[in-house]
Chain A
Amino acid sequence: MSDALVIAHDLTKRFGDFTAVDSIDFEVQPGEAFGFLGPNGAGKSSTMRMIGAVSPITSGSLSVLGLDPVTQGPELRSRIGVVPQEDSLDVELTVAENLMIYGRYFGLTRSVIRPRIEELLDFVQLNGKRDEKVDKLSGGMKRRLTIARSLINQPELLILDEPTTGLDPQARHVLWDRLYRLKQDGVTLIVTTHYMDEAEQLCDRLVVMDQARIVAEGAPADLIVQHSTREVLEMRFPPGTQEENIAQLGGLAERMEILPDRVLLYTPDADSTSSEAHARGIRPVAQVSRRSSLEDVFLKLTGRSLVE
């Protein structure tokens, strides 16, 4: 027996004939932050919803906190927190009322919920908005309230589906800090995101999903070593000249990615590749050399860029 918190084996989700999640396997260990990366439609949310026991699995097996999401849904849901991709707040109610109502769903008494409301509003920095109607909040504030709501039952496992979409950079950093603190407190995190920096910052381990399947798995740093070179040279050419320039780049790098607006050269040493290119008479209007990132892994595995 594994002591993993979440164990998925051959996990599959179909909607009619369409397979949204295609026999994936993964395990989430207690206390870790586990990420799901993948392009739109990859099947991340479908997987989150199965783990959260709101969507029955089609086939395979899934165990969460040692429970079966299909037959023990209510018990399982009472012990986890969920930040769904789409906010689903009670917009006619105030910020504090939303938290009170949600706490009541979990069967908590008002006297237990009341102090938690104040703590959580502090936690997501919405104290000033306590008695404001949710209607009046900005998108990012609603997101933060959804996050606070997911914590009302002090969950052991927190599932966050694109938690920072819609947040400004400062709020994102604050949230990362908060999630980090939760992790310190022993809460296990499962996060989906489109932001590579978020995944690198937050996740101990992650999987990359593409077209309903898991295409890679590992710690962010390991994935970079496994699937990319040490460095990347990005070149931007004058409009309309990218193709003729590409023709001259052959053999310069281990691998090349051609994006609409620039070319990425994967190489162990970006500076020497740059000199070589220069020697061949290639003159980009702009170039950057940098370390490989998860973005590059993602690009290679899914053929898609996240920075559109």
Chain B
Amino acid sequence: MNTYLRMYEREARVYKGVWRGSVFSSFVNPFLYLIAMGMFLGRLVDEQTGGVAGVTYLEFLAPGLLAATAMQAGAGDSAWPVLAGIKWQKTYVAALASPLRSRDIVIGHLAWVATRVALVSVIYVLVAALLGATGLASGLLAVIPAVLTGLAFAGLVSWFSATLEDGIGLTNLFRFGIMPLFLFSGTFFEISRLPDWMEPIAYITPLWHGVELTRAVALGTEPPLGRLGHAAVLVGVIVVGTALAARQFEKRLVV
């Protein structure tokens, strides 16, 4: 058995105990956005402009929200739970007394996050398809870029969490990092609407690449950097984030 799968199993089992609340919260929010913004605000947008980027606002929003939801799930699972494993409950410390190594913990954790993001994404797509916000097949295909988006954040946030001593940094990360990204990375409107000075900022955030790729897959369009281009950026961020996290776990826990 690959050693990281042992940590995967632990994460899955912990999740089993809380999955109801967790699925509910990671999914209710985007659902509410989809209805309020996609359907009601969307009607207004469509009446005024005849749609966005050639599709209805609801169809435009649905894949963007999918990527943003994946980001939030990936970041959330790698924030407080990671700090708890390292510091509050020390369950990761306990795991290091077994044959597991810190990289097994990081990889097992991230592998689990990928699974969970996929789960949340699939449920989201099913509901979005019911609402007519996306095609079922193209929506399900878009789960793949959504998982890449979730993982990109999971790696970076795991690394960040492993540098912290308390939860304040995480609260700030979500308040000043994740939330603004959610609003300004092309989820709700194309970033060409942003003031010129803000646009480049959006380009360097992983979420923008995730949103563009997810939307392109769902709508069958070609994104600015090409599908491969955006995918390469996301994979690059995943690799860097995972490596940083593994290094930080080792530095923090093996002392």
Contact = CB atoms under 8 A, between A and B. Distances in A.
Interface of A: 15, 52, 54-56, 73-75, 77-78, 82, 84, 86, 88-93, 97, 100-102, 104-107, 149, 153
B106 to A, nearest CB: 15
Interface in B48-104: 89-91, 93-101
Nearest to A97: B13
Given A56-B254, A104-B9, A75 B91 contact: no
Contact of A93 (B3, B14, B99): B14
Given A56-B254, A89-B89, A91-B89, A84 B99 contact: no
B10 A101 contact: yes
A149 B91 CA distance: 13
Contacts of B100: 74, 105
B1 interface: yes
A74 B18 contact: no
Contacts of B13: 93, 97, 100-101
Given A74-B99, A90-B14, A93-B14, 18 more contacts: A15-B255, A55-B255, A73-B101, A78-B98, A82-B97, A88-B91, A88-B93, A90-B10, A91-B89, A92-B14, A92-B18, A100-B13, A101-B10, A102-B94, A105-B10, A105-B99, A106-B98, A107-B6
Chain B CB count within 10 A is highest, among A15, A86, A92, A153, for A92
B17 interface: yes
Interface residues of B, number: 24
- DSSP majority for the B interface? helix
Contact of A89 (B1, B17, B91, B99): B91
Contacts of B91: 88-90
Nearest to A102: B98
B94 A84 contact: yes
Contact of A104 (B10, B90, B93, B101): B10
Contacts of A92: 14, 17-18
B96 to A, nearest CB: 5
A153 B6 CA distance: 15
B6 A104 contact: yes
A105 B255 contact: no
Nearest to B90: A88
Given A55-B255, A92-B14, A107 B99 contact: yes
Contacts of B10: 90, 101, 104-105
A103 to B, nearest CB: 9
B97 A77 contact: yes
Interface string B1-39: 101001101100110011000000000000000000000
A295 B141 CA distance: 70
Contact of B98 (A56, A77, A89): A77
Contacts of A54: 93, 96-97, 254
B32 to A, nearest CB: 27
Chain A CB count within 10 A is highest, among B13, B98, B254, for B98
Contacts of A105: 6-7, 10, 95, 98-100
B232 to A, nearest CB: 34
B94 A77 contact: no
Interface in B89-126: 89-91, 93-101
Contact of A88 (B14, B89, B99): B89
B97 A52 contact: yes
B144 to A, nearest CB: 29
